[in-house]
Structure 1
Amino acid sequence: MDKLDFLQGIGKISVFVSLLLAFFLLTVKTENKLANRLFAWFFIFSAVDLSGFFITTVTRTQLNWEIFRSTACLFGMPLFYLFVLAVCYSDFRLQWKHLVHLLPFIVVNLVFIPGIYLNLDTDKDTFLSRFNQLPEIYFIQILIEFQYIFYIVSVFLILKKYRDIYLENYANPSAATYKWLFQITCVFLTAHSIVALKNVLRYSGFREIFVWANVLVGSIALFITCWFIMKALNHPELFRGVNSKLKLTKEILPEVDDKSVSTNVQDDLITGQISTLKQYMAEKEPFLDPSLTIQELANQIDIPVRDLSVLINHKMDQHFFDFVNEYRIQKAMNILKDQSKNQLTVLEILYEVGFNSKSSFNTSFKKYTNLTPTAYRNAS
């Protein structure tokens, strides 16, 4: 088997696996159907793009299909961007304004119309031999790179805001959503960097190296898709979105700052609220609820959620996430030191104090004590 046959084989497998994953995403039962559908369409268009590895000059009988296949990749990053929004924000819905993401595809095909679509009577062999040297192809390559940079930066900004909102408003110690999306984005960034390098080789004259670069890209695409399938099968309910209407503390500070109250009175009020909050946390132990949110805690102590957010995240200089976990770790430390509870395993203790993941418990415990739970128990 030569390298071209090998490349075509990888391409066919990649397309099959991509369509299989798309089918899984469209049929799996989940609350966030919109995110799954967007991700499914992302893989469908990826399959269309990857089909170029095995569509030979013999089978390219329809130039319309080849032109569409060459421009379909422009749907990829917009779909991934919308997918990230749908995962991060539980109240995200598609709106008419999101049609703006179709503009690159529309612009590219408008550019193609005078150069290709209106000249489809051109000899196919001649057309295919100079396809990669067409000005329109250069334009597409440049547009793809600019589009990719725009969306990848936008996704990283969304993830940063999502992480900040999550830390300020939620106490669930599982950060699976952020980690998963961050991993996906980093993998896509790495993969695209390799694709961009391969496209440079296309015009360098190093035909042999370009073919092997295609083999590498096809292999990476297959690996990534298989990785997604394993994740999807093992974690079909991986994501938990936050409410997009939630604001960061720095955004609401001007709204809650009362200039009519003197500094001394404000300080006394804040001190009293902090004392009340700490007393409630110690006596009622609301942190034992793994899914505690700042909204639920605000309702329990009868403080407006915006005031409580400013109090914890700004006045106490802690994220809500860290504030709650500190109480959980302190209770875990007390249990680990209690000789009468030696029979409790670390796993039982972490569930008892409000954690729902051993890895997140160990990470948080070591952050506060510089020791693992087992080492802390042995040292007590």
Structure 2
Amino acid sequence: MDKINLLIIVTVISLFISLFLAFFLLTVKTKHKISNSLFAFFLIISAIDFSYPLFDLVSDGPSNLGMLRNLLCFLQLPVFYLYVVSACYSDFKFKPKFILHLLPFFIANAILIPRFYSVDLASKISFLQNYQNEIELKFNHALIHVQMVTYLVLVFMILRKAKKLYLENYAGTNIKSYNWLFQFTIVLTVLYAATIVKNIFKFSDYPYISAGIKVGLLAFQLVITCWYLFKALNNPGLFRNIDSKLKLVSDIVLEEKKKEQPALKENESNEELVKLRKYMIEEKPFLNPSLTIQDVSKGIEIPVRDLSLLINHKLEQHFYDFVNTYRIENAMEILKDVTKSKVTVLEILYDVGFNSKSSFNTAFKKHTGSTPTDYRKSL
């Protein structure tokens, strides 16, 4: 009885937090409405999925609604995948082809119509009691496992590409948001891996192990839900800075090779490199914390494609690191200036184009091998 009460309490708390956060995301005024709506939808589907202790409490037995609730898990990762894409790319829009993401959900429900959805209660009970031998349930469990692995791989691929595009084209500090999404995906991967193990034991000779893992997953879900809320409060505006039409430098170089043309002629690239460095030193565009490669392209009148190749391919630096080098060099000059000894590190980081202390410290240590405070003391 105590165990049941504990499960109910944990479920109620998780439901409240998930639905509260979903309501907030759906009602808050923001320019990221699509991303917020997708994340809210993901939270709602997840809440319905782990609400089974409450559902079982009020249910008189197997029902079509109960089975439909179970199969909503087929929508979780497709919605999460679309959320990640919308969070990464500023030009994200819903497209008709996204309907294909619903296909596994419809297939899983369709195969249950003959022997579950369309039969009487006694037949439903018999079907579920013999679940280890029912081909439809085995197929659905195999399908959900394939879907989990496929979507998690796709999400990691999207994040990897988006991060690389960001580093090649932007010099802001929103890279922290990518790190959060990576953490988010890793946590979900652990959750779904445990779910796969649970399902394997469910169809084995040790179903009681599956039941134990199920209880553990419910508790883990509460921790994750609280973590969602904490992150949402500390990261109210997730990044959406990348244009999906941007290409990776590696792809551009490959295209140039296929055309059998040099990406940049040596003389031209040297002239452009001199022009770029002169512009960075004299105009100091790096002082803009939201600087993009498009801004620099306009400033020196070099096409973005050529500028990207120049920095990322010829200099073998990401645009993000290239700009931060100038910011750190400028910060070092200020730290060396004895007349500015009373200027705080926090003031300096804002003055040179950073807007995050952690990103400034990381970049400074990467460039100099020491923290800004230690560097100043060593002078």
Asked if residue 217 in structure 1 is aligned to residue 203 in structure 2, the reply is: no
Q: Does 1:356 align with 2:355?
A: yes
- Paired amino acid for 1:163: K
| Rounded Cα–Cα distance in structure 2 between residues aligned with 1:259 and 1:94 | 34
Counterparts of 2:122 and 2:131, CA distance in 1: 12
Q: Deviations over 1:53-96 (max 9, x none)?
A: 33227614561111101211000000000000000001010111
Distance of 1:295 and 1:313 partners within structure 2: 14
Q: Give the aligned partner of residue 139 of structure 1.
A: 139
Q: Is the 8 A contact 1:87 1:239 kept in 2?
A: yes
Indicate whether 1:376 and 2:356 are aligned: no
Structure 1 counterpart of 2:289: 290
2:183 alignment partner AA = Q
For the pair 1:130 / 2:96, whether they are aligned, the reply is: no
CA contact (8 A) 2:116 2:127 kept: no
2:349–2:357 CA contact under 8 A, matched in 1: yes
Aligned residue in 2 for 1:29: 29
For 2:258 and 2:324, locate their aligned partners in 1 and report how far apart those are by CA, in whole Å: 30
Q: Map of 1:300-315 to 2, 5 A cutoff?
A: 300-315=299-314
Structure 2: distance between partners of 1:241 and 1:288? 19
* CA offsets 1:214-246 (integer angstroms, 9 cap, x no match): 221011111111111111122211323311011
Question: Does the CA contact (< 8 Å) of 2:256 and 2:262 recur in 1?
Answer: no
Residues 175-196 of structure 1 deviation map (CA, whole Å, 9 limit, x = unaligned): 1221111011000001111222
Change (3 A) 1:31 1:262: closer
Contact kept, 8 Å, 1:168 with 1:319, in 2: the verdict is yes
Q: In the alignment, is the contact (CA less than 8 A) between 1:174 and 1:357 conserved in 2?
A: no
Change in CA separation of 1:50 and 1:374 when aligned onto 2, cut-off 3 Å: same
Deviation, structure 1 residue 254: 5.3
Note the 1:12-51 alignment, pairs <5 A: 12-51=12-51
Residue pairs, 1:92-103, within 5 angstroms: 92-103=92-103
The RMSD of aligned alpha carbons is 2.2
- Find the residue that maps to 2:222 and give its secondary structure: helix
Residues 332-341 or 195-204, more deviating: 195-204
Deviation at 1:123, TM superposition (A): 5.0
Paired AA for residue 378 in structure 1: K
Aligned residues: 379
| CA distance 1:254–1:58, shift in 2 (3 Å) | closer
Please tell me whether the aligned partners of residues 22 and 41 of structure 2 are also in contact (alpha carbons under 8 angstroms): yes
2:25 maps to amino acid: L
TM-score, normalised with respect to structure 1: 0.94
Q: Gaps spanning 5+ residues in structure 1: where?
A: none
TM-score (norm 2): 0.94
> Could you tell me whether the CA contact under 8 Å between 2:249 and 2:313 is conserved in 1?
yes
Of 235-244 and 8-17, more deviation after overlay is shown by: 8-17
TM superposition shift of 1:320: 0.6
1:300 Cα deviation from its structure 2 partner: 0.6
Give the match's secondary structure for 2:316. Answer: coil
Does the 8 Å CA contact 2:334/2:340 hold for their aligned counterparts?
yes
1:260/1:186 Cα in 2 relative to 1: closer, same or farther (>3 Å)? closer
The amino acid of 1:201's aligned partner reads F
Contact 2:249 2:312 in 1 (8 A): yes
Q: How does 1:147-186 map onto structure 2 within 5 Å?
A: 147-186=147-186
Residue 330 in structure 1 maps to residue 329 in structure 2: yes
Equivalent residue, structure 1, for 2:192: 192
- Tell me what 1:266 maps to: 265
* 1:345-372, Cα deviation, whole Å (9 max, x unpaired): 1100000000000000000000011101
For the 8 Å contact 1:60–1:66, the answer to whether it is kept is: no
- Percent identity of paired positions between Structure 1 and Structure 2: 47
Residue 279 of structure 2 is aligned to residue 280 of structure 1: yes
124 and 310 in structure 1: CA distance in 2 versus 1, 3 angstrom threshold: closer
CA distance in 2, matches of 1:57, 1:339: 72
Consecutive unaligned residues of structure 2, counting only runs of 5 or more, are none
Contact 2:311 2:318 in 1 (8 A): yes
Which string of whole-angstrom CA distances, capped at 9 and with x for unpartnered residues, describes residues 13-56 of structure 1?
22222212211111122111001111111111111111213322
2:226 corresponds to: 226
SS state of the match for residue 56, structure 1?
A: helix
Structure 1 residues 205 and 21, CA gap change in structure 2 (3 angstroms): farther
Contact 2:174/2:239 (8 A) holds in 1: no
Aligned to 2:116: 116
The amino acid across from 1:296 in the alignment is D
Does residue 87 of structure 2 align to residue 78 of structure 1? no
Preserved contact between residue 176 and residue 238 of structure 1 (Cα < 8 Å): no
Q: Greater shift after overlay, 349-358 or 227-236?
A: 227-236
- Offset of 1:206 from its aligned partner? 4.2
